[in-house]
Amino acid sequence: MLSKETLAQFRVEPGAKFHLKDHDPRQLTEKALRRLGKDELKEKAQEVVRKNLAELAQAQAMLWAHDVHSVLIVLQAMDAAGKDGVIRHVMTGVNPQGCRVHNFKQPSSLELDHDFLWRCQGALPERGMITIFNRSYYEEVLVVRVHPEYLERQRLPAGKRDERFWEKRFESINAFERHLTRSGTLVLKFFLNVSKGEQKRRFLERIEDREKHWKFSAGDIAERRHWDAYMDAYQELLRHTSTKWAPWHVIPADHKWAARALVADITANAVHSLHESFPKATKEQLDALASAKKELLGG
């Protein structure tokens, strides 16, 4: 596993001044690439993922056995940042019975008839479970902020849609996540920080490769035109919603294999910290085991 000092540099410290421009999407990889070369560094990153898959599988088994805590992993990013790849690679070794992925699309009319946090509540993890939100309630301070016309569909009470409006949404999110953590849910939040140039390269790859055409949508280009507005919105949400109970991690995502290694390491460390061992059997359980063994051996 990577050192705590290394991982700490990707965490957004609550209350600290935060500027997204200070976080390089190629951070940690460029110097290492010059020193080791891409193939060697990529292999090292893949080895980190492999080791953490084993750690995470063990941690998930203990999570399930204790049936006290749950884990919510929130993934946010611009299009083509690699969210699906992170989910596929990092969660490969996890028991499917104990893990779910929920993708949030455009809200339905039913969802729009409720508050902005309502639709995510039914998808939250039960005790012993890990749930991944591929996009999340944070879209309500991202897409909706970049496209304020979407607020009209929400039929909100009259009032200004100014800075205070968005600050109130941040406050609601922080209170919601605090409630979750107090109830036993570990909240892990990752922003996959891809550069505009790398996104362009990946979009062109999807256009030029027939087997990747299905990944491309004209809407991706439309949203790319609002890149600067999205960066401003991300900076604001990272500043206001990275808390002691649910901090954000800004993951450099221009190299997919580096991003996967970091997410895997942070996740495995955090989930493993919930339970150090399997629960000990009570006297009644031990007596029942002894009785069952005696019956089996006698038959």
pLDDT at residue 46 in the model = 83
pLDDT at residue 35 in the model = 59
Amino acid identity, residue 280?
K
pLDDT at residue 235 in the model = 96
Helix runs in the chain, H state only: 4-8, 29-36, 38-66, 83-90, 109-112, 118-121, 143-146, 163-182, 196-208, 218-224, 227-241, 256-272, 283-298
Instruction: Give dist(CA 136, CA 37) in Å, integer.
Output: 36
pLDDT at residue 33 in the model = 52
Closest to 106 in 3D by CA, of 147, 74, 67: 147
pLDDT, averaged per 10 consecutive residues of the chain (299 residues), comes to: 75 91 80 60 82 90 95 96 92 86 92 95 96 96 95 91 95 98 98 96 92 85 96 97 97 92 92 90 91 88
Q: Is the pTM of this model over 0.95?
A: no
Cα angle 199, 202, 203; round to 5: 85
pLDDT at residue 58 in the model = 92
pLDDT at residue 28 in the model = 66
pLDDT at residue 177 in the model = 98
Q: Quote the tokens at residue 277.
A: 């061992």
pLDDT at residue 32 in the model = 55
